[in-house]
RNA sequence: GGUCUGUUCAUCUAAGGGUUAGGAUUCAAGAUUUUCAUUCUUGCCAUAGGGGUUCGAAUCCCCUACAGACUACCA
């Protein structure tokens, strides 16, 4: 059984956009599969028609694709276990529910939602919690509490009914979780879960177990919120007689809010200004949009790198990993047990690391649309050169413009603080002399300008700090940016002189 | 309320009986860059609390506290 081919699945329900916790679950599944040369499947768990959101499934597919998580089998990829959408497997589940009915592991229940609500409020009034279990099922309306004939009559009538799992009484169920170790639950604290709903659809629990079995899933890797349903699932495998091929279970820790308590939610992102979704999402109902990492200018490999290290560590001090390296290094044993607080700052840092390593041409390509937005058309070679000059100062392509606009157009304003600090009475005259000097330079490139310039400043006895900073003010409009002579080089001789004259006039 | 899970610097985490408890992010300071950023150096900063076991505990056990998840004909 340990020789089984590794097959894992990511099984989201299409009720909205995939958030980063979901992406991480998908990622860990994918990394585990690839580490062991196995398969990664995508299965859409759309058994709840009421919560179905149009576009959510496409969003999930697109998000995984953007992240570089390749699906081996799924709705779009197909595979020998198709279909991979539970709504399309609907007809399959009934027979499995019936198998359980026959073997005495399940029963029909005819209680209406109103009756159940009543039972719950009654219990609450007494300070108790209602649970449908061995103690209470004899007083509810089901095939165990009523006569066989009555049951047949009810089934024959079109009255709504569900199929519930008959939870054994007072049985310890122990199962190993690959990152937590052995976990024990006593069935007397569990309830008779609905397996088959009155609308003819299976619940998550039934569909999940049936599909994992049929699709020969070897490992179930999912969020910690599923840990409490592990005993139910184990019992279902036993009831079906599938225990020898039951998958191993692993429950991943949650991703927590950056500050405060609780798990990360969409609100945290809105409040603190970072995305919680991989891609931009537009709610089809309300029209509200939520930011995405892709649209915010993050690179998918940086995003994935950050996510991988949230709750997992390689045991070495390496922090930057390509997807390929992650596939090789990953192991479930090195996933932490405790929830990880999400850190937007570190996410930016990861992006910066990838950003500065990108070739200038690639960044230039990405810069072009931003330039166009500013009404500037530039050659790719120019954009690439600019990116090379300022990328150390940026985390995102969107920040390049702020760091480099002066390489495309003359500054229109001058930073007042710098003016007050540097633009003393004698400065205009000095700048005038420098403009004149620049006009005489024959070979216009950075080193050829710098040499004689330094000689001039020394000969005139000017203060270097004042001259350099004032000159920068003329050319840039502030006190930032790349090497001054590199700037002169790039914008050209004529423009350099013109900017100095303009500054003398305007300041 | 019940059940389960968890708890090491502000944050992500390493160390799975023996280290001055290590690294990274953030923050602060210094150096470099005659600007800014980068880079480099330094600093700040942690084993939730209490009991055991042991020559020795962040590590094993128990209790307490705190946190989280679950407790639907949702997944």
**What is the tens place of the pLDDT at every residue in A296-355?**
999 999 999 999 999 999 999 899 999 999 999 999 999 999 999 999 989 999 999 999
Cα(A442)–Cα(A407) distance, rounded to whole angstroms? Answer: 21
Asked if strand B contacts A305 at the CB level, meaning under 7 A, the answer is no
Query: Which string of DSSP letters, residue by residue, matches A173-203?
Result: EEEEETTTEEEEEEGGGS---EEE-TTSPBP
Asked if strand B contacts A201 at the CB level, meaning under 7 A, the answer is yes
Which residue in A197, A263, A266, A358 is the catalytic one?
Answer: A266
Specify the nucleotide whose C1' lies closest to residue A462 (CA). Answer: B34
Residues 328-367/A with CB < 7 A to strand B: 333-334, 336-341, 343, 345-346, 349
* Protein-contacted positions of strand B (CB under 7 Å): 1-8, 11-16, 23-26, 33-38, 67-75
pLDDT score of A309: 95
Cα(A166)–Cα(A163) distance, rounded to whole angstroms? Answer: 9
Using a CB cutoff of 8 Å and minimum separation of 24, what contacts does A179-188 make?
A179/A250, A179/A251, A179/A252, A179/A332, A179/A333, A179/A335, A179/A336, A179/A337, A180/A227, A180/A251, A180/A337, A183/A227, A183/A230, A185/A228, A185/A230, A185/A231, A187/A231, A187/A235, A188/A133, A188/A134
Asked if strand B contacts A319 at the CB level, meaning under 7 A, the answer is yes
pLDDT score of A252: 96
Residues 441-480/A with CB < 7 A to strand B: 454, 457, 464-465, 468-469, 472, 479-480
Do the beta carbons of residue A424 and residue A462 sit within 8 Å? no
To 10 degrees, what angle do helices A90-102 and A204-214 make? 100
Asked if strand B contacts A402 at the CB level, meaning under 7 A, the answer is no
pLDDT score of A215: 98
Beta-strand pair A7-10/A39-42: parallel
- pLDDT less than 70: residues of chain A: 1-2
Query: Which string of DSSP letters, residue by residue, matches A339-398?
Result: -EE--HHHHHHHHHHHHHHS-HHHHHHHHHHHHHHTT----HHHHHHHHHHHGGG-SSGG
The 3-class SS string of A142-167 reads ECCCCCHHHHHHHHHCCCCCEEEECC
Structure token pair of residue A418? 């710098």
pLDDT averaged over every residue in chain A: 94
ipTM above 0.90, yes or no: yes
Specify the nucleotide whose C1' lies closest to residue A454 (CA). Answer: B34
Phi, psi of A175 (to 5 degrees): -145, 150
pLDDT score of A127: 83
Beta bridge partners of A149: none
First-to-final CA distance of chain A = 80
Percent of chain A beyond pLDDT 70? 100
pLDDT score of A2: 52
Structure token pair of residue A341? 């607080």
Does A421 participate in catalysis according to the annotation?
Answer: no
Cα(A102)–Cα(A135) distance, rounded to whole angstroms? Answer: 22
pLDDT digits over A7-55, tens only?
999 999 999 999 999 999 999 999 999 999 999 999 999 999 999 999 9
Do the beta carbons of residue A213 and residue A237 sit within 8 Å? yes
pLDDT score of A1: 46
Asked if strand B contacts A114 at the CB level, meaning under 7 A, the answer is no
């Amino acid at each position: 059984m340990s020789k089984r081919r590794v097959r894992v699945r990511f099984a989201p329900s299409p009720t909205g956009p995939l958030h980063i916790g979901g992406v991480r679950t998908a990622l860990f599944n994918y990394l585990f599969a690839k580490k062991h040369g196995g398969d990664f499947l995508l299965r859409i768990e759309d058994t709840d028609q009421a919560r179905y959101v149009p576009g959510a499934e496409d969003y999930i597919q697109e998000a995984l694709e953007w992240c570089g998580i390749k699906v081996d089998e799924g709705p779009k990829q197909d595979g020998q276990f198709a279909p991979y959408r539970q709504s399309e497997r609907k007809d399959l589940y009934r027979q499995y529910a019936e198998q359980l009915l026959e073997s005495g592991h399940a029963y029909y229940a005819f209680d209406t939602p109103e009756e159940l609500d009543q039972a719950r409020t009654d219990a609450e009034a007494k300070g108790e919690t209602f649970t449908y279990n061995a103690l209470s099922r004899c007083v509810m309306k089901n095939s165990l509490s009523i006569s066989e004939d009555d049951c047949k009559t009810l089934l024959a009538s079109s009255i709504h009914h569900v199929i519930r799992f008959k939870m054994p009484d007072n049985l310890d169920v122990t199962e190993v979780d690959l990152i937590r170790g052995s976990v024990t639950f006593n069935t007397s604290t569990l309830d008779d879960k609905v397996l088959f709903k009155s609308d003819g659809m299976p619940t998550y629990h039934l569909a999940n177990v049936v599909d994992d079995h049929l699709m020969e899933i070897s490992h179930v890797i999912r969020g910690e919120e599923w840990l409490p349903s592990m005993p139910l699932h184990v019992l279902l495998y036993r009831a079906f007689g599938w225990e020898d091929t039951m998958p191993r279970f692993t429950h991943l820790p949650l991703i927590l809010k950056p500050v405060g308590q609780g798990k990360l939610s969409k609100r945290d992102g809105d409040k603190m200004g970072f995305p919680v979704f991989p891609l931009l999402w537009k709610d089809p109902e309300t029209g509200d949009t939520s930011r995405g990492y892709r649209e915010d200018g993050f690179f998918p490999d940086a995003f994935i790198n950050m996510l991988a290290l949230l709750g997992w560590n390689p045991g070495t001090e390496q922090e930057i990993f390509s997807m390929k390296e992650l596939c090789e290094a990953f192991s479930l044993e090195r996933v932490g047990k405790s929830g990880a607080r999400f850190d937007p700052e570190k996410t930016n840092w990861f992006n910066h690391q990838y950003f500065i390593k990108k070739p200038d041409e690639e960044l230039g390509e990405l810069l072009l649309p931003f330039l166009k937005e500013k009404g500037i058309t530039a050659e790719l070679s120019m954009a690439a050169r600019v990116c090379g000059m300022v990328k150390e100062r940026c985390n995102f392509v969107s920040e390049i413009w702020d760091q480099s606009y002066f390489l495309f157009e003359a500054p229109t304003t001058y930073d007042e603080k710098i003016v007050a600090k540097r633009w003393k009475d004698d400065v205009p005259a000095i700048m005038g002399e420098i403009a004149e000097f620049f006009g005489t330079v024959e070979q216009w490139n950075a080193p050829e300008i710098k040499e004689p310039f330094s000689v001039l400043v020394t000969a005139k006895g000017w203060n270097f700090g004042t001259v350099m900073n004032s000159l920068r003010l003329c050319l840039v409009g502030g006190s930032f940016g790349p090497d001054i002579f590199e700037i002169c080089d790039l914008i050209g001789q004529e423009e350099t002189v013109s900017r100095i004259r303009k500054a003398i006039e305007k300041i």
